[in-house]
């Protein structure tokens, strides 16, 4: 590791720790801890959403996927961006209007039943753990490759940093780490893209021509179908991508860091522009890596192509740019895992402990303490799991998290806002059916049982043919909601739909005593 790498790396860590120190002094109440006191502006939250969303899977994963598989890699970019239309048109504003700290709050605004809140918290924790595991395993592999540290040491380093951010700085520190990271990521991506375009003499169309014989796929590189040969399998993945975002707890939680629905809306707009620009640029990352690094070299470094972007930076801009991109990738993982810890901790401390066990009767101090203890717990467990999961496929874990979010959370979120007849039984049936259908089908899928030795946990023919079960589990979640609702009557403790409807549409809240 050269001195320039060390300087850039220490610079990034120093900056984020400085933010945490500053944020820690402002974090005293539960609202500060969970939602930065709802004090963020639209563009700040928009940047933070982008910083939270553009995970290692986006930056390292998509660049690698495009470089290895051409257009099929770009499907991820298209799906993950379009997902924001679902968020904007259907979820963002009513969610901000009804909720307080967590996704379960918003469902709890309509159903007082503790079972409903418990099921929502269970989903949140499951999604967070899968997503977290993906990020931490990716982080371990990345730092191992970049700096030659052992895998376990890399995981501990990232785990320690994220715990510090969340524990001391809460949502304020987490948000600003995400904002700083979004700026660094965009800067890095724009620089690399510019250098790639320069190599192609700024001829965007000519670049496609050059890609025809840059990879072993030949012309197929420019067409869909290199990886996804089965249409239903492809559509299933895309369902998970486009609907999953609207059910991801750490993204939904970001809407509570702003003061009202109007600001929540404007933050989605900022996020859409930043995320869209980034995903367009993934073409340059992917094409550039395939052309100037070469598929053989990319695969030799990491079979999934995860090192394509840093390697490309090295080829085009030398060691300084490669170190910068590596530091950005590190910051990316830190920002995302910090957001995940916070949403997992909020489900445990706020929903399970505060609302269910203590029935909402907790003091401000108890709440903050519970949140900090839960953060420690979530960090500890996820680090422990990550240490044992070195060989797990990262992309599989992320797409599973999206699938659970789409199947288990999205139907309940939508029906809570838009369906008058929806009731407690429907909500619980939907959340549990979505969760378990997704988990069971994945356990029977080629991700777990694969004829190729070493590709999965068991060797054999998969019982369920598709990698991603969204095409079955999402409809199952919706159906369970409808059937559960129709076979049962409304529970006594449900709040009137009239009140929920009015608040969801207008953002009106009674003055709290």
Partner 1 sequence: MNQGQNEKTVDYAKIIQTDEFKSLVKRKKKFAIPYVIFFFVVFFTLPILTSYTSILEARAIGWMTWTWVYAFGIFIMVWVLTSIYMNKAKEFDENVEEIIKKYVVK
| Least CB distance to partner 1 at residue 210 (A) | 8
Nearer CB in complex with partner 1: 161/285:
285
What does the longest C-alpha to C-alpha distance in the chain come to?
A: 69
Q: Which is nearer to partner 1, 144 or 265 (CB)?
A: 265
- H or E segment and range at residue 204: helix 204-211
Residue 155 gets which letter from DSSP?
H
Q: Whole-number minimum distance, CB 268 to partner 1, in Å? A: 7
Decide whether 70 or 170 has the Cβ nearer to partner 1.
Answer: 70
Residue listed under structure tokens 């965009």: 186
Least distance from C-beta 81 to partner 1, angstroms? 6
Determine the Cα–Cα distance for residues 345 and 117; give it in Å rounded to an integer.
15
Distances (CA, A) of 407 to 343, 367, 371, 438: 19, 30, 27, 7
CB of 82 to partner 1, least distance (A): 5
* 511 DSSP assignment: P
What is d(CA 57, CA 60) in angstroms, rounded to the nearest whole number? 6
- Which C-beta is closer to partner 1: that of 70 or that of 446? 70
Q: Which residue has tokens 């995940």?
A: 340
- Rounded to a whole number of angstroms, the CA Rg of the chain reads 22
Cα distance between residue 247 and residue 435, in whole Å: 12
| Closer of 282 and 445 to partner 1 (Cβ) | 282
Which residue, 54 or 386, is less far from partner 1 as judged by CB? 54
CB of 86 to partner 1, least distance (A): 8
**Residue 99 and residue 106 in contact, taking contact as beta carbons nearer than 8 Å:** yes
Shortest Å, Cβ 30 to partner 1: 25
What is the DSSP code string of 362-397?
A: --HHHHHHHHHHHHHHHHHHHHHHHHH-TTS-HHHH
Helix (H) or strand (E) holding 175: helix 170-199
- Closest distance between partner 1 and the C-beta of residue 149, in Å? 38
Give, as one character, the DSSP assignment of residue 459: E
| Residue 449 near residue 407 (C-beta atoms within 8 A) | no
- Single out the residue of 370, 354, 438, 349 nearest to residue 130, CA to CA: 438
In the bound complex, what is the minimum distance in angstroms from residue 410's beta carbon to partner 1?
A: 13
In whole angstroms, the minimum distance from the beta carbon of 399 to partner 1 comes to 15
Of 4 and 78, CB closest to partner 1:
78
**Closest distance to partner 1 from the beta carbon of 222 (Å):** 5
Kind and range of the H or E run holding 449 = strand 449-450
**CA–CA separation, 157 and 154 (whole Å):** 5
Is 77 or 323 the residue whose CB approaches partner 1 more closely?
Answer: 77
Q: Toward partner 1, which CB reaches closer, 106 or 414?
A: 414
Nearer to partner 1 (CB atom), residue 17 or residue 88: 88
Alpha carbon distance 196, 289 (integer Å): 9
| Residue 289 or 329 having the CB closest to partner 1 | 289
Distance in angstroms (rounded) separating the CA atoms of residues 194 and 175: 28
The helix or strand, by DSSP H or E, that contains position 284, with its residue range, turns out to be helix 261-288
- Which residues bind to partner 1, rule: CB under 8 A? 71, 74-75, 78-79, 81-82, 84-86, 88-90, 93, 205-206, 208-209, 211-212, 222-225, 228, 231, 234-235, 238, 242, 262, 265-266, 268-269, 272-273, 276, 279-280, 496, 498-499, 501-502, 505-508, 510
Instruction: Tell me how far, at minimum, the Cβ of 274 lies from partner 1, in Å.
Output: 11
CA pair distance 121, 105, nearest whole angstrom: 10
């Amino acid at each position: 590791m050269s001195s320039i790498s060390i300087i850039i790396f220490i610079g990034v860590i120093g900056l984020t720790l400085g933010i945490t120190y500053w944020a820690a002094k402002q974090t005293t109440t539960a609202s500060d801890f969970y939602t930065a006191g709802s004090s963020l502006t639209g563009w700040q939250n928009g940047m933070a959403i982008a910083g939270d969303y553009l995970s290692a899977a986006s930056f390292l994963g998509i660049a690698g996927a495009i470089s290895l598989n051409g257009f099929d890699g770009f499907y991820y970019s298209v799906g993950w961006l379009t997902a924001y239309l679902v968020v904007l048109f259907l979820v963002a504003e009513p969610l901000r209007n009804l909720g307080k700290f967590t996704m379960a709050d918003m469902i709890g605004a309509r159903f007082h039943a503790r079972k409903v809140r418990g099921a929502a918290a269970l989903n949140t924790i499951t999604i967070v753990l899968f997503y977290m595991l993906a990020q931490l395993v990716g982080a371990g592999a990345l730092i191992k490759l970049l700096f030659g540290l052992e895998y376990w040491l890399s995981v501990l380093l990232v785990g320690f940093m994220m715990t510090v951010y969340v524990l001391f700085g809460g949502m304020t520190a987490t948000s600003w780490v995400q904002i700083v990271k979004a700026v660094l990521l965009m800067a890095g991506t724009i620089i690399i893209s510019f250098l790639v375009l320069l190599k192609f003499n700024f001829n965007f169309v000519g670049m496609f021509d050059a890609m025809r014989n840059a990879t072993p796929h030949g012309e197929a590189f420019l067409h869909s179908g290199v990886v996804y040969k089965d249409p239903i399998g492809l559509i299933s993945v895309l369902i998970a991508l486009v609907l999953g975002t609207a059910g991801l707890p750490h993204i939904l939680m970001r809407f509570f860091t702003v003061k009202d629905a109007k600001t929540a809306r404007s933050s989605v707009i900022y996020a859409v522009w930043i995320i869209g620009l980034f995903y367009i640029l993934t073409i340059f990352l992917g094409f550039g890596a395939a052309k100037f690094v070469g598929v053989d070299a990319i695969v030799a470094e990491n079979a999934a192509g995860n090192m394509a972007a840093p390697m490309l930076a090295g080829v085009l801009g030398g060691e300084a740019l490669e170190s910068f991109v590596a530091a950005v990738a590190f910051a990316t993982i830190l920002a995302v895992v910090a957001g995940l810890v916070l949403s997992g901790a909020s489900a445990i401390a706020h929903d399970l402990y505060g609302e269910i066990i203590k029935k909402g009767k907790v003091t401000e101090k108890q709440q903050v303490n519970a949140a900090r203890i839960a953060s420690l717990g979530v960090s500890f467990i996820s680090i422990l799991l990550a240490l044992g999961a070195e060989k797990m496929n990262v992309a599989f874990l992320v797409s599973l998290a999206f699938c659970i979010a789409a199947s288990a959370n999205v139907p309940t979120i939508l029906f809570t806002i838009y369906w008058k007849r929806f009731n407690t039984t429907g909500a619980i049936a939907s959340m549990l059916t979505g969760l378990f259908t997704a988990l069971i089908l994945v356990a029977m899928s080629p991700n777990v049982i694969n004829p190729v030795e070493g590709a999965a946990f068991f060797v054999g023919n998969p019982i369920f043919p598709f990698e991603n079960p969204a095409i079955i589990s999402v409809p199952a979640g919706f159906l369970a909601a409808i059937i559960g609702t129709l076979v049962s009557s409304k529970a006594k403790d449900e709040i009137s739909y009239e009140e929920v409807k009015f608040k969801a549409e207008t953002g009106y809240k009674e003055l709290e005593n």
